[in-house]
Amino acid sequence: MEEPRKPNVVLGVTGSIAAYKAAEITRQLVKADINVLPVMTDAATRFLGPLTLQSLSLNPVTTGLFDEEESWRPTHIALADMADLLLIAPVTANVMAKLAHGLADDVLTAIALATRAPLVLAPAMNVKMWEHPATQANRRLLEERGARLIGPETGFLACGYEGKGRMSPPEVIVERVLQYLKHRG
């Protein structure tokens, strides 16, 4: 009898100081028998090295729209089709705006536009950015389209402020992702 297929989680990482938490999210998801397919924006690679996620996920890390494998099929479409869930942790205000407005100018936003998998976002940003009317309008629009948000939480922020904008802890994000995967379909 054939073993059941592991769920595929495309893990998008954006340019936030909270990007380092993606390593622990990856480790915990792999431990839970999830196939993690990491995708990093260019800005994310300034906070976390792709080799870290590659080593933890045991999968290549996609960092560019033209990171094509030896195939006729574009990588962003292949990943969009493979995804059982698209998790973006952390997601910045910039990427939330791109997602809300259908922009696809990098590999991560192209995957998000092409996939039919559930979208889960873990915001991380300055409290003023989180509270800005544009960010809140984008949040509402994304939620109306079915995106699920995990956080943000209130606490001390890397910028020195205190308030809402801190990314939820990796264990909280992983627990919610596992619940979403369990109840999919």
Buried b / exposed e over 81-120, threshold 16 CB at 10 Å, is eebbbbbbbbbbbbbbbbbbeeebebbbbbbbebbebbbb
> CA-to-CA distance for 59 and 77, rounded, in angstroms?
17
> According to the model, what pLDDT value does residue 109 have?
98
| pLDDT tens digit sequence for 134-146 | 999 999 999 999 9
Instruction: Give the domain extent around 168.
Output: 8-182
How does residue 2 score in pLDDT terms, banded at 50, 70 and 90?
low
Domain holding 105: CATH number? 3.40.50.1950
What's the pTM? 0.94
Flag whether 3 is in a domain: no
Catalytically annotated residue among 113, 159, 172, 175: 159
Flag whether 2 is in a domain: no
> CA-to-CA distance for 33 and 143, rounded, in angstroms?
28
- DSSP strands (E only) in 46-117: 85-91
Please confirm, yes or no, whether 143 is among the known catalytic residues.
no
